[in-house]
Structure 1
Amino acid sequence: MAGMARPLATIPTCFSIIIICLSLITMRIEAAPQGSLVTQLPGFNGTFPSSHYSGYVSIGSKKLFYYFVVSEGSPADDPVVLWLNGGPGCSSFDGFVYEHGPFNFEQKSKGALPTLQLNPYSWSKVSNMLYLDSPAGVGFSYSEDPSQYVTGDLQTAADTHAFLLSWFKQYPEFLSNPFYISGESYAGVYVPTLAFQVATGIQNGTKPVVNLKGYMVGNGVTDRNFDDNALVPFAHGMALISDQIYEGVIEECGINYSNSSSPKCNEKLNLAREALGGLNIYNILEPCYHGTESGNDTSTTTKSSNLPLSFQQLGKSPEKPLGVRKRMFGRAWPYQMSVEDGLVPLWPQLAAKSNSRTVPCFNDEVATKWLNDPAVREAIHAKPASVSGPWELCSDRISYDHDAGSMIPYHRNLTTKGYKAIIFSGDHDMCVPYTGSQAWTSSLGYKVIDQWRSWLSNDQVAGYLQAYENDLTFLTVKGAGHTVPEYKPREALDFYSRWLAGKPI
């Protein structure tokens, strides 16, 4: 009997350990706030391949809205990636609906609610994706104090950092996961300023400690001189302007034409502007359809001589109003060229100044229809329109100050501190051309460790890259426009997943 007592006494102990282990695993999977769980979405009849959560995080009077897609792979190990769209003033549901979210959206008939199908190239295949509407006043995010809609680069970074600290407290099971910050267009400012805030918080011992590993920027605004001066070389290289026009600009303006006030320089720039009129600046390969006043598409392309060559020029009313344009298979990002220091004009304001009903090459009908449906808002825990306002892809509710200056010092600071970075560009975007991103990454002076070469997707050349010391990579995506995952979803998932995993691209 004495010999049997020990095994019998051990059985409950072992059983208890098993129960405790199972409980810990369950906590790891289900510790996220269940009140934020999304259980169904209007327009989708299938089963979610992973859990979805959404809701608000309060930063004082500001209520910031997020949508979190748990990885379809290994949620406990896969990175958490924050996605930010730009504008400024544009909702990150742009990325969710049109680029790399878990669904593809299709509006089968005018006025009908879009139907949703699973997206085979969703970035949630390999990462936990966190979409955030930022700053307050954008998308579903709002403030109980309207004075808080006056903001800028530095305040937005501080608010988003505060959001992340609060969010990770609500989702502590993801705190140890590698964390990355990503975005495109004006998020070329959002991403590095936020990464700097997070890195500074880590250095100062701010709790909880975020496991920041790096960041990524697509076709991102970076530095006025590099961004503005990228257009003419891009247009020349793409055979959009002649040798004579290009050489005339260089002769009269020099290579830094963005700061020129010379009448002869402006005369040469007008020739380039005239040549580029009528193009879809977000992807020069795609047509622009110009709507009539009745809203019907026409096949006629009205040439415009008013394509901006700098962001400053966007604030001026063009001599001829730009037509309402719609890209053939979707929409295009409402941002143009570079940004000067100071108050940034928002896209609805720019549309009004140009006597246009909307921004050129801009169509957000699918997202607007779906996200303003009361049943959808209820399903994703968004406040009703009476509280947070109607959802708009890009808002004019905020007043936004570009007060962080050039992003180059931010990039240098972050990359020399050990944070990996990838700067990617759709190579047919004329909005923030790859030529500018290629130039500023080279200007950092880092040693090249992987000389310019092609990279493959599906056994085909998908673009080119050059890698530098300090874990900095510049990469192009062949044939893509301003919103790379929208134009080239397979290729985007390929380089994204390889980069996150630390594999060669």
Structure 2
Amino acid sequence: MARATALCSYKLICYCLFFSLAVLTQSAPEDALITQLPGYSGTFPSKHYSGYVNIDENHGKNLFYYFVESEGNPSEDPVVLWLNGGPGCSSFDGFVYEHGPFNFEEAKTKGGLPQLHLNPSSWSKVSNIIYLDSPVGVGLSYSKNRSDYLIGDIQTAIDSHAFLLKWFELYPEFLPNPFFIAGESYAGVYVPTLSYEVVKGIIAGTQPILNFKGYLVGNGVTDNEFDGNALVPFAHGMGLISDDLYEEVKTECKGNFYIPQNDICESKLDKVDANLQDLNMYNILEPCYHSSDAAENTDIKIRLPSSFQKLGETDRPLAVRKRMFGRAWPLKAPVRDGIVPTWPQLLNSQTVPCTNDEVATAWLNDEAVRKAIHAEEETVIGKWELCTDRIDYNHDAGSMIPYHKNLTSRGYQALIFSGDHDLCVPYTGSQAWTRSLGYKIVDEWRPWMVNGDVAGYLQGYENNLTFLTVKGSGHTVPEYKPQEALEFYSKFLAGNPI
């Protein structure tokens, strides 16, 4: 607004100032206001809005969002965009199971609705937060053109940026607020690529100008080499494999644990797998949930259609292990350029291993809930699923390390946090790639505390980069450690030491 005013001639200054104030005080669209939610009988602690933003009228791309105003000071508190991963998983995962305004309780009667209670560790305690189903085709987002469901990293970032520009036009009173982007798992790709699009837009003067300050990534996939080599050191450090096996793997694989160079290396890695196969990959401290229709824990052979291959490749069988897939890409086959099958495509639409999504599935597929949150009916867009097989997803952005270097070198704040008992995206990979940036350490490795207890460890680097572990947490940190997550989240957004 100040920039716009400065461009005005002397005669128009008063008019521009008046227009600026009018925009800043404009209210959010009332037709998006949520007045009640089935399963919740109390008073909302802040305003909630939801609905669709059409980002491409020609194609009919409709991205669904659920916006929770801050319970503190919404006019000044940061605005945070939250993205879950997959690829193909809905950000209602974060809303229902992690840091949304409610804790969800299973229905007391068969066929009933889950009951909602206020979440004392909701991230809306200290921020305005937008839960976005992205890319199009995920969660409640949809397109009238099925070709839009063939998508990749770069187009997803472009689409999400288009969403943000239109969203802030709908909610212009939040433009002055500090803006952050956050996510976990495969959002380790979504977050830096979208952040880069936002920064490009700011540099180009794309309107409206977003007040972007930084980003957060939790247990995020980042780089082929670092992610691929993270599992074996993690397994050894956690006492999941023996010293002897660890030394044999190091010797035979020569430090490359994700592309076996010979049969002996592969056989040693098979032994590592055998030691880990019965663990909950999302948190080795937790038991594994088994749904009633879960498939046998065995190798599954699938054949990807030719549209799933990288250019020039032919159809070929792809062997995968059910236990290695879920809300993030598996580290025995880290994210590489080319198609990234979603977990239902890999598992023949079986349930995510060790994951119970029954509450969210029941709630979001209820007709009254859909109506209350202004979502299209099931007859129009189909069932809500935690992770979908509707999209064909292409990893076309490469390693995220250049993105992180670009963003942090410009001074944007970055918090890379990691539950230290996650087998899916182990902290050892995140710790290694953050160190590889070569930044000077400005806050040497130390514990960080919550209520006088050690909650994890962190290391701070120059250029506003922080790597942080959360002690005893798994893949989805706010789900396993809600109080600790709110603590570091609050401190980071406020720019205070953790």
Cα distance in structure 1, aligned partners of 2:451 and 2:282: 25
Shift in Å at residue 362 of structure 1?
A: 2.1
Q: CA separation of 1:291/1:79 partners in 2, compared to 1, >3 Å: closer, same or farther?
A: closer
Q: Deviations over 1:199-223 (max 9, x none)?
A: 0110011110000000000000000
After superposition, residues 197-276 of structure 1 pair within 5 angstroms as 197-276=197-276
**Structure 1 unpaired stretches of 5+:** 1-23, 297-301, 307-311, 325-331
Cα distance in structure 1, aligned partners of 2:281 and 2:323: 13
Partner of 1:445: 438
Shift in Å at residue 196 of structure 1?
A: 0.2
Partner of 2:398: 405
Larger mean CA deviation between 106-115 and 25-34 belongs to: 25-34
Partner of 1:389: 382
Q: Is the 8 A contact 2:193 2:403 kept in 1?
A: yes
Q: CA separation of 1:201/1:232 partners in 2, compared to 1, >3 Å: closer, same or farther?
A: same
Residue in structure 2 matching 1:336, options 325, 330, 339 = 330
Shift in Å at residue 254 of structure 1?
A: 1.5
Q: Is the 8 A contact 2:277 2:323 kept in 1?
A: no
Partner of 1:55: 51
Q: How many residues are treated as equivalent by the alignment? A: 461
Partner of 1:156: 156
Partner of 1:100: 99
SS in 2 for 1:155: helix
Give the aligned residue type for 2:115: T
Give the aligned residue type for 2:174: F
Q: Deviations over 1:141-189 (max 9, x none)?
A: 0001111111000000000000000000000000010000000000000
Cα distance in structure 2, aligned partners of 1:120 and 1:30: 30
Cα distance in structure 1, aligned partners of 2:411 and 2:463: 7
Partner of 1:316: 319
Partner of 1:371: 364
Q: CA separation of 1:40/1:335 partners in 2, compared to 1, >3 Å: closer, same or farther?
A: farther
Q: Is the 8 A contact 2:328 2:424 kept in 1?
A: no
Give the aligned residue type for 1:138: V
Cα distance in structure 2, aligned partners of 1:314 and 1:339: 18
Q: Is the 8 A contact 1:185 1:220 kept in 2?
A: yes
Q: Is the 8 A contact 1:276 1:305 kept in 2?
A: no
Cα distance in structure 1, aligned partners of 2:153 and 2:241: 35
1:504 aligns with 2:468: no
Cα distance in structure 1, aligned partners of 2:297 and 2:344: 22
Q: Is the 8 A contact 1:280 1:361 kept in 2?
A: yes
Give the aligned residue type for 1:336: P
Cα distance in structure 2, aligned partners of 1:25 and 1:207: 17
Residue in structure 1 matching 2:448, options 438, 455, 463 = 455
Cα distance in structure 1, aligned partners of 2:26 and 2:363: 28
Partner of 2:410: 417
Q: Is the 8 A contact 2:87 2:328 kept in 1?
A: no
Q: Is the 8 A contact 2:289 2:355 kept in 1?
A: no
Cα distance in structure 1, aligned partners of 2:374 and 2:380: 12
1:84 aligns with 2:83: yes
Partner of 2:17: none
Q: Is the 8 A contact 1:455 1:463 kept in 2?
A: yes
Give the aligned residue type for 1:145: N
Q: CA separation of 1:485/1:382 partners in 2, compared to 1, >3 Å: closer, same or farther?
A: same
Q: Is the 8 A contact 1:273 1:305 kept in 2?
A: no
Cα distance in structure 2, aligned partners of 1:131 and 1:485: 15
Give the aligned residue type for 2:64: F
Cα distance in structure 2, aligned partners of 1:386 and 1:95: 25
Q: Is the 8 A contact 2:195 2:215 kept in 1?
A: yes
SS in 1 for 2:239: coil
TM-score norm. by structure 2 comes to 0.89
Give the aligned residue type for 1:443: S
Shift in Å at residue 358 of structure 1?
A: 1.9
After superposition, residues 58-73 of structure 1 pair within 5 angstroms as 58-60=54-56, 61-73=60-72
SS in 1 for 2:281: coil
Cα distance in structure 2, aligned partners of 1:145 and 1:36: 25
Give the aligned residue type for 2:400: M
Shift in Å at residue 28 of structure 1?
A: 5.4
Shift in Å at residue 339 of structure 1?
A: 1.1
Residue in structure 2 matching 1:435, options 420, 428, 438 = 428
Shift in Å at residue 360 of structure 1?
A: 1.2
Cα distance in structure 1, aligned partners of 2:317 and 2:239: 24
Q: Is the 8 A contact 2:80 2:128 kept in 1?
A: yes
Shift in Å at residue 359 of structure 1?
A: 2.4
Identity of aligned residues (%): 65
Partner of 1:36: 32
Give the aligned residue type for 2:330: Q
Cα distance in structure 2, aligned partners of 1:333 and 1:87: 5
Shift in Å at residue 322 of structure 1?
A: 5.8
SS in 1 for 2:404: helix
Partner of 1:18: none
Cα distance in structure 2, aligned partners of 1:323 and 1:188: 18
Cα distance in structure 2, aligned partners of 1:486 and 1:289: 15
SS in 2 for 1:454: strand
Cα distance in structure 2, aligned partners of 1:64 and 1:171: 16
Q: Deviations over 1:14-60 (max 9, x none)?
A: xxxxxxxxxx9998566100000000000000000000000100011
Partner of 1:46: 42
Q: Deviations over 1:267-288 (max 9, x none)?
A: 1101111111100010000011
Shift in Å at residue 113 of structure 1?
A: 0.5
Cα distance in structure 1, aligned partners of 2:324 and 2:162: 41
Give the aligned residue type for 1:418: G
Shift in Å at residue 290 of structure 1?
A: 3.7
Partner of 2:305: none
Partner of 2:463: 470
Cα distance in structure 2, aligned partners of 1:323 and 1:454: 31
Larger Rg: 1
Partner of 2:184: 184
Q: Is the 8 A contact 2:78 2:178 kept in 1?
A: yes
**Structure 2 unpaired stretches of 5+:** 1-19, 301-308, 310-315
SS in 1 for 2:319: coil
TM-score norm. by structure 1 comes to 0.87
SS in 2 for 1:160: helix
Cα distance in structure 1, aligned partners of 2:30 and 2:90: 25
Q: Is the 8 A contact 1:274 1:305 kept in 2?
A: no
Shift in Å at residue 108 of structure 1?
A: 3.7
Q: Deviations over 1:351-384 (max 9, x none)?
A: 11xxx83221122100000000000000000011
Cα distance in structure 2, aligned partners of 1:167 and 1:115: 30
Partner of 2:122: 122
Partner of 1:166: 166
Shift in Å at residue 112 of structure 1?
A: 1.8
Cα distance in structure 2, aligned partners of 1:151 and 1:163: 16
